[in-house]
Amino acid sequence: MRYLSPLLAAALTILVGYALFSALGRDPLAALHAFFVRPVSTANGVAELLLKASPLMMIATGLALGFRANVWNIGAEGQLILGAICGGGVALHLEGAASGWGLALMVVAGALGGMAWAAIPAFLRTRFNASEILTSLMLTYVAALLLSYLVHGPWRDPQGFNFPQSRMFDDALLFPLLVEGTRLNASFLLALAVVAAGWVFVHKSFLGYQMRVAGLADAAARYAGFSATRTVWIGMLAGGGAAGLAGLAEVAGPIGQLTPSISPGYGFAAIIVAFVGRLNPVGCALASLLMSLLYLGGEQAQMELRLPAAITGLFQGMLLFFLLGADVLINFRVRALRRAGPAAASAGQAA
């Protein structure tokens, strides 16, 4: 039943979408077609879908490891930016001296950058017991300003008319394309590798087991002698590293330079993806495909039917709402309770 609830949520979303489009005076079937079929009706569309899903897949898998252990890393967006800064910084300094190792070095730098940014909330949590929800979220804004400073200042393209952007990276430092004529690049394989590694960690490793116990029953984990500190560190670093990789993959992939805005909120969208994917790496991969389809479908709906962009947000929100709703109703039974006499009486008097 737990695994059926995403399907149920999707079905309900489509159903309400159908009613919504009818109410807007659009042909609902055409609208649903534009949303869910048109984007993937060409090879290029499929490539775009996979390209868009890659960062979501990576980040959601990384975050899910922490979420399972009650480590709430909300700052993946900032960790993504740091990954882009570190990996992109390597690219800018390798300019002209590009070798086969350049890209590998950038990948390592990107992952380490994201991890380093995630290490700050991990340290604050384990040393001072500061909530990682707040610290990781607030560091997102710091990361965005840091990127803004770099592209306005030291890393600004000298030929760029003072516009805030870096030089374009050397072609040799970009991920090679997987399919010529599309934008799908080798970072998709990296995303699959992250998902595979996440799956092995969760299902096959003792450490993964310990983290799951820590998430399900904190006291039991402590009684068994599992280190709570280690759980926090692994949870944060997994999310940070994955987000850093995703950031690097964006700048060394479709963007090809550092600009003030790198991600359209992948770090936040990945939180939704992780939950829709049931905090399971394979589920995250599937959920990221669904989420990207909604983005692409939103664009198609605008072009084909002139529906407003807000429809995309509405669809995503509905999906999450129905998913969480289905979960509540599956896990808990709703019963009408008649309140006991005196309480009801006093409530009546108070009113």
Partner 1 sequence: MSTRKWGAALIGAAALAVAGLAPAAQPLKIGFVYVSPVGDAGWTYQHDLARRALEKQYGDKIVTKYVENVPEGADAERVIRELAASGHELVFTTSFGYMNPTIKVAKSFPKVLFEHATGYKRAKNVGTYNARFYEGRYLAGIVAGKMSKSGTAGYVAAFPIPEVLQGINAFTRGMRSVNPKAQVRVVWVNSWYDPGREREAAMALISQGADVLMQHTDSTAPVQAAEEKGVYAIGYHSDMSKYGPKAHLTASTHDWTGFYGKLVGEALAGKAQPTNIWGGIRDGMVKMAPYNPAVPQDVRDLVAKAAADIAAGRLHPFGGPVKDQGGKERVPAGKFMPDDQLAVMDYYVEGVQGQLPKK
Nearer to partner 1, 72 or 188 (CB): 188
Nearer to partner 1, 70 or 259 (CB): 259
Nearer to partner 1, 148 or 227 (CB): 148
Nearer to partner 1, 183 or 230 (CB): 183
Shortest distance (Å) from residue 299 CB to partner 1: 5
Nearer to partner 1, 135 or 185 (CB): 185
Long-range contacts of 5-8 (CB under 8 A, 24+ apart): 5/323, 5/326, 5/327, 5/330, 6/276, 6/278, 6/283, 6/287, 6/323, 8/322, 8/326
Shortest distance (Å) from residue 111 CB to partner 1: 19
Shortest distance (Å) from residue 148 CB to partner 1: 6
Whole-number Cα distances in Å, 300 to 15, 26, 264: 19, 14, 18
Nearer to partner 1, 107 or 311 (CB): 311
Nearer to partner 1, 180 or 342 (CB): 180
Shortest distance (Å) from residue 117 CB to partner 1: 19
Shortest distance (Å) from residue 270 CB to partner 1: 15
Binding site for partner 1 (CB under 8 A): 44, 48, 51-52, 145, 148, 152-154, 156, 161-164, 168, 183, 250, 253-257, 259-264, 295-296, 299-300, 302-303, 306, 308-310
How far is residue 76's CA from residue 118's CA, in Å, rounded to a whole number? 8
Shortest distance (Å) from residue 279 CB to partner 1: 26
Shortest distance (Å) from residue 311 CB to partner 1: 11
Shortest distance (Å) from residue 343 CB to partner 1: 43
Nearer to partner 1, 1 or 310 (CB): 310
